[in-house]
Amino acid sequence: MLKRLGELWKNIIYPPRCPGCGSSVAVHGEWCSPCAAKLFHFRMLNGSRKRLGLDGCYALADYDGAVRRAVSRLKYHGKLHYGDAFFYMLECFPWPERLTACDVIVPVPLYPAKEKKRGFNQNDIIFKPWAESHGLVWMPALQRVRPTASQWSLQKAERQENIKRAFACQHSFGRMAEHILLVDDIYTTGVTMQTCAAILKRKGAQTVTGLVIASSAP
């Protein structure tokens, strides 16, 4: 009851607006129908199934327009309310059973000094509330053990070298955690996801499926 009243007052004081165009919507985080039709692009990314480790990666949208702005505002400007917009997108995923069949969800981590400076890992804001709402196990099993440059700023040939030996995993996976959903905000060339997936498989994971908010890949 108290939660309902809190939401009611929130809606009165801060009326819900579409994250894309600012038009009136029913609940916080909801994208209006025109924006959703234009921006959402649910798909398995071509080329995301690699022998290195990743068993495919799903994306919710193209990394463009309003979705790109929302990711940037959350990550670099601390606009945490955009987490509601990404929660809404995750709830709209058309094949939910492909995601919720996982044993655990593992986020791609930030380097500790970078996370301390930013104040949060965007993947916690984007994915953890959704995981908890579905009763899924959130397991930050990966660690970033050295700082790296942003992958999007590098040439293709530099990206593999940039990410080399950047991640570690102290956890070993057994029968209770054979199927992992690996989550990150964006997918560029897939080098980060592939590297993390390979580490998780060396630690006992049987399958590692990726999930990202957005990608420029087809």
pLDDT in tens, 84-119: 999 999 999 999 999 999 999 999 999 999 999 999
Q: Is the pLDDT of residue 3 over 60?
A: no
Strand 179-187 to 40-44 pairing: unpaired
Nearest-angstrom CA–CA distance, 30 and 19: 7
Residue 50: pLDDT band (50, 70, 90) is confident
Question: pTM of the predicted model, to two decimals?
Answer: 0.90
- Domain 40-148+160-215 coded CATH 3.40.50: yes
Domain boundary assignment for the chain: 40-148+160-215
Question: What does the pLDDT read at residue 14?
Answer: 75
Tokens of 158: 């530099």
Q: Which residue has the higher pLDDT, 151 or 124?
A: 124
Read off the DSSP letter of residue 11. Answer: H
Predicted local confidence at residue 11, as pLDDT: 59
The strand pairing partners of 168, in sequence order, are 143
Name the average pLDDT for the chain.
89
